[in-house]
Copies of this chain bind each other. A is one copy, B any other.
Amino acid sequence: MNIGEAASASGVPAKTIRYYESIGLLTPAPRSQGGYRVYSDTDLKVLKFVQRARSLGFAVKDVGNLLKLWSDRERSSGDVKAVAIRHIDEIDRKLAELHSIRETLVHLTRRCHGDDRPDCPILDDLARNGN
Contacts and interface: CB of A to CB of B under 8 A. Distances in A.
A94 interface: yes
Contacts of A127: 45, 48-49, 70
Interface string A49-63: 100110011000000
Interface residues of A, number: 53
Given A77-B112, A101-B57, A109-B88, A66 B117 contact: no
A108 B129 contact: no
B98 A66 contact: no
**A-B complex: 10 closest residue pairs judged by Cβ atoms:** A81-B114, A77-B120, A76-B116, A78-B114, A80-B120, A81-B112, A84-B109, A91-B102, A52-B126, A57-B101
